[in-house]
Structure 1
Amino acid sequence: MSPATPPRVEARRSRLVRPLAVLAALVTLVGLAAAPSSAADGDVTVVVNSDGTATYTSHVATALTVKRSATEGGTEVDNFALAGNATVSKPLGATTKCWAAYDVSTPVDGGCVVPAMAPNATGTYYRLPDPTRFLDTRSGSGVPLGQGGTRSVQVGGVSGIPSTGVSAIVANLTATKTSTAGYMTLYPSGVSRPTASSLNFPSGWTGANLVTVPIGADGKVVVYNDTGSAHAILDVLGWYAADDTVRGAKGIGAQFQSTVSGDPERLYDSRDDEAGAYVDGDVFVWHDEWDTSADADAVEAYALNITAVGATKAGVLSAWSGETEDPPNASSVNYLPGVAAPNMTVVPSGRQSTLETGFAIANATTGTGSVHIIVDQVGYYIKSNDGGFRFRPLSTPTRILDTRTGKGLSGQFGPASARTLNATSVTTPDSYYVVGNTTGVLPTLNTYLTIWSGENARPTASNLNVTPKRTRAAGTIAPLKFTEGTGVLSFAIYNNAGKMHVLFDAAGTLELVPPTLDTPPPLARTTGTQREVATTTAPGSERFDTRPVRSTSSRY
């Protein structure tokens, strides 16, 4: 992408609050009736219909002429007469989305609207019913991956994942019984192994990291182990559609939607909970309440960062929908005594009542051990074709930051320092998030990294928690900031304490769909068709129970 960003992007980003806290207002205009796109004087209002037309209504007695174009103030494509106080419906497309109403030669009103989106599954996310194990080198021959060893894993056409039409998988990669410190890389088959790491580990360790990775043309991914020997486990959570061919069999998947701020938001920290740390068998339950049952139906999954801190014994945290008594046989976070253990995960949404969705996290600790749990929300996955963020894969994981070599930024992060990374090299004009992997290399102190857009104040949330002299990675959905004038898309990284080098490997982006308007329609909030608080296509989330339900005697 060239350094100069097309003017249409500047227009969109300057007028549409980023990271799209008002997305639901935009969504209302996409194929749903009742959101006018008119100037403040209201001489003409325009409503987009689900059949691909737009209805233009005059509110003045004078006959008007409506001229339409692809851009605001652009070359006229067509025109039609609009009688006083009359209504006219016309086919709507990309070249006719902007309009201007004239009283003879005097312009009286105008604007742009979003054409209705035809159903299309491209870039949407499909979760598997439960995390599904595709590889466990401890099984069968029981031979671990040796130094420089690889293992190909067939994912396309297996366990409900289509054999074609899949761009990438979302999976937990776990290393166990590691003989020395090292790393693993998960990458698509059929390409050269990239300069990227998916999971970093010390000797004698068990731990996991969430990885989004493109799949090869043959439906396979490859696991590579760099140093020593280690067993590898691959649990797949879901997959992204490469094109619309999967829609016939699978329908339209889910789209990513941001939190209210667009940046990660802290939901819970048991260190602030009077009930204290979690012991074996304790369960944390989160609730969201929505306006309607249809809104609740649309919530497919939660994108979360889950961190275990202050553990006194080894254990695991398992996140799941909470709809069954016990979690599935797959861990979300593996932790050791005194070592902070983060992991990002995509958790299926559980239906708790007609209007409620949520999720649960179970703790299993050795003996009398205990652990604190921190939960930060990155966003939701919403099942809808109306508009949102969809995944665009890169051909292979791509390193855009390595402070050791000066790629992206140069030199270690110092204490209490925030720096901005230019991510334009892997984005498009419609990118709002970069999906990838963040690695902290050999920190000098206990610390954490926070990644956010940089448009807002730094959130009280962490993406990666690390301990001294241990290199660790965490899956990341990094929200992007747009800088007008330069067109740069970037995100901010904050290190809390000590010094360390930082890496970032990008797997793809989340793109705004429908495509950008040259000038967005006005987002008035007085029409009764838009929510005051918009987080998703099912906007208006109310967190009605910020205190978790706790149990020390049973899972539920």
Structure 2
Amino acid sequence: MSRRIAAPLLAIALAGSAWAAAPTSAHAATPGAMGTYHPSTTARVADTQSGWGGRTGYVSSKNSVTYTVTGRNGIPSTGVSAVVVQLTAFDQHGNGAFVAYAAGTSRPAAVSFAYGGRSTQVGKVTVPVSSTGRISVAGAGAYQAHLRIDVVGWYASSSSTAPAGGLYLPSDLELTDDTRMSGARLQPGDQLEEDLEIGFGSDDPNFQAPTVVALDLNISALSPSGTGGLTAWSGTGRRPYVPSLEFGNHDSVSSSVIVPVTLVSSQSEGGGTVATYKFVVGAFGGSTDVALSIGGLYDQGRDAFGAAYRPTAPQLAINTVTGLGITKGRLGADSARLATLPSAAIDDGTVAVNMTTAAVAPTAGTWVAQTTDLLNTRSTSIINTLAGATRSGTLTAELDSAMNSDLPQVGFYNGKGSIDVQAWTYGRFDFTDDGVVGAKNLSARQLAKRVLSQRPTMRLKHKVIRAH
């Protein structure tokens, strides 16, 4: 018989301790479809070991694979600018990488996902699609690996005829749940059921609270025993067979995933709307502690406010080896450093960028955090790795959440030993909301700062559902 263990309430303050108001005096304009996110049916596109998708064999620096991703699994045949996929590297024997790009275009030099060590590793990547709806993945680095590709969602292009999807509203990436705090380590078959309360309010009596469709979730398996993985999903229907993260024995790992959520309830409270959403993280194979961090949310509706996705040319933006965008030299133990992104990676209204960050040649087992604030750098890890294993973490990185600097900055923290840091950008999120009163008199950056200052407050609590 399963049993539930209630855990204490955890709070995520995105804008203070009370429900925050949405832009006041006028509701947001109805967003267009371009750049909005749509969750799709989570489905496998390819597995180069089994031959799923039509191709068998390792992916290395000497070859590439190409697959059609549109017109199936809930993704339309047209009107798609990019797809969100999970790339899984397995049966590798050392450090390597994958490069994902639109089929038929030149292979970029930018790394999409770096893997190291022998454990199976999963990384989220947003990939532009070709005019025929195809993507390619090539190998990079000294070692080859088998590849799995799982699709989880898509972004609309300017030609989309679909209703508007979700706009992205970033939050500070802070630790929001950790089973080590409650003694609720997950065993095989256990589920971590998360209830998330989100409050939307406004001084406008005609304001309609948006609906949250998905969360940008960073997930870590800490001190695992055995070989297994974690799957994050909406909690509705059957658990998907596609894992969000896989781990090896005693090998802590982190991964990023966009997880759909299920609306549980919605009610008026204090002049606004408080909605409760649910998502679930389930363990399989081995036991592990789990840490979760919410990096942002996707909301839709008449009064949704947030940022739309814009693909950008992939580029190496930060490199401690050469001093590109950051002070030259390895990042030591328990130390942090700010980096500045190139102007080509952003626009005036950019509030977050899609970024792949690699911890290169670590001298010890370590964890790496990415943040906008060097005063709060240890809250969550985007990379967990072993000595000598170069690994990456993919993250939608918010830029200077206080919007106090004209420089697009991100910060990096390293826990142990020393590492080089390399980061590649391949997309950005721009605010397109013109519904805020006085918006025409504000610069894009001033508008973004106003909207970010009025983000909702979220509160998170979990229950552990034991398999036995």
* TM-score normalised by L of structure 2: 0.83
Distance 1:219 1:451, change over 3 A: same
Are 2:356 and 1:437 aligned? Answer: yes
- The equivalent of 1:322 in structure 2 is 235
Distance 1:271 1:429, change over 3 A: same
Q: CA deviation at 1:117?
A: 3.0
Q: CA deviation at 1:508?
A: 0.9
- From 267, 280, 290, the equivalent of 1:373 is 290
Are 2:88 and 1:174 aligned? Answer: yes
- The equivalent of 2:130 in structure 1 is 216
Q: CA deviation at 1:205?
A: 3.6
In structure 2, the residue corresponding to 1:237 is in which secondary structure? strand
- The equivalent of 1:360 in structure 2 is 280
In structure 1, the residue corresponding to 2:412 is in which secondary structure? strand
Distance 1:228 1:486, change over 3 A: closer
Write the letter of the residue equivalent to 1:509.
Answer: R
- From 43, 46, 50, the equivalent of 1:139 is 50
- The equivalent of 1:287 in structure 2 is 195
Kept after mapping to 2: 8 A contact 1:424/1:488? no
For residues 482 and 317 of structure 1, what CA distance do their matches in structure 2 show?
A: 30
Cα deviation, 1:244-302, whole Å, max 9, x if unaligned, reads: x32x3x2110011133xxx1121111111133x21111110110234589988701011
Cα deviation, 1:386-410, whole Å, max 9, x if unaligned, reads: 331111110x321101222332222
For residues 237 and 484 of structure 1, what CA distance do their matches in structure 2 show?
A: 31
Write the letter of the residue equivalent to 1:286.
Answer: E
Are 2:240 and 1:313 aligned? Answer: no
Kept after mapping to 2: 8 A contact 1:301/1:380? yes
Distance 1:24 1:122, change over 3 A: farther
Q: CA deviation at 1:180?
A: 4.1
Rg: which structure is higher? Answer: 1
- From 388, 402, 409, the equivalent of 2:306 is 388
- The equivalent of 1:191 in structure 2 is 105
Distance 1:181 1:486, change over 3 A: closer
Q: CA deviation at 1:119?
A: 4.3
Q: CA deviation at 1:375?
A: 0.5
- The equivalent of 1:266 in structure 2 is 175
Q: Which has the higher contact order (CA 8 A, sep 6+)?
A: 2
Distance 1:510 1:297, change over 3 A: closer
**For residues 24-39 of structure 1, what are the structure 2 equivalents within 5 Å?**
25=21, 27-30=23-26, 32=27
For residues 287 and 341 of structure 1, what CA distance do their matches in structure 2 show?
A: 24
For residues 302 and 363 of structure 2, what CA distance do their matches in structure 1 show?
A: 47
- From 288, 291, 304, the equivalent of 2:217 is 304
Distance 1:191 1:323, change over 3 A: same
Distance 1:307 1:517, change over 3 A: farther
Distance 1:340 1:296, change over 3 A: farther
For residues 20 and 301 of structure 2, what CA distance do their matches in structure 1 show?
A: 12
Distance 1:203 1:452, change over 3 A: closer
Kept after mapping to 2: 8 A contact 1:482/1:488? no
Kept after mapping to 1: 8 A contact 2:119/2:247? no
Are 2:328 and 1:420 aligned? Answer: no
**For residues 13-28 of structure 1, what are the structure 2 equivalents within 5 Å?**
25=21, 27-28=23-24
For residues 84 and 61 of structure 2, what CA distance do their matches in structure 1 show?
A: 25
For residues 472 and 124 of structure 1, what CA distance do their matches in structure 2 show?
A: 29
For residues 159 and 370 of structure 1, what CA distance do their matches in structure 2 show?
A: 31
- The equivalent of 1:403 in structure 2 is 320
Cα deviation, 1:23-68, whole Å, max 9, x if unaligned, reads: 97453445x3xxxxxxxxxxxxxxxxxxxxxxxxxxxxxxxxxxxx
Are 2:67 and 1:153 aligned? Answer: yes
**For residues 44-63 of structure 1, what are the structure 2 equivalents within 5 Å?**
none
* TM-score normalised by L of structure 1: 0.70
Kept after mapping to 2: 8 A contact 1:23/1:534? no
**For residues 66-145 of structure 1, what are the structure 2 equivalents within 5 Å?**
117=29, 119-128=31-40, 130-140=41-51, 142-145=56-59
Distance 1:23 1:475, change over 3 A: farther
For residues 339 and 296 of structure 1, what CA distance do their matches in structure 2 show?
A: 42
Cα deviation, 1:77-99, whole Å, max 9, x if unaligned, reads: xxxxxxxxxxxxxxxxxxxxxxx
Kept after mapping to 2: 8 A contact 1:403/1:502? yes
Kept after mapping to 1: 8 A contact 2:336/2:374? no
- The equivalent of 2:7 in structure 1 is none
For residues 208 and 182 of structure 2, what CA distance do their matches in structure 1 show?
A: 30
Kept after mapping to 2: 8 A contact 1:176/1:206? yes
Q: CA deviation at 1:190?
A: 2.8
Higher mean alpha-carbon deviation, 198-207 vs 471-480, is at 198-207
For residues 97 and 42 of structure 2, what CA distance do their matches in structure 1 show?
A: 23
Q: Let me know the Cα RMSD of the aligned residues.
A: 3.2
In structure 1, the residue corresponding to 2:180 is in which secondary structure? helix
For residues 405 and 279 of structure 2, what CA distance do their matches in structure 1 show?
A: 41
Write the letter of the residue equivalent to 1:318.
Answer: T
Distance 1:229 1:449, change over 3 A: closer
- The equivalent of 1:337 in structure 2 is 249
Percent of residue pairs bearing the same amino acid type: 28
Kept after mapping to 1: 8 A contact 2:317/2:342? no
Write the letter of the residue equivalent to 2:284.
Answer: A
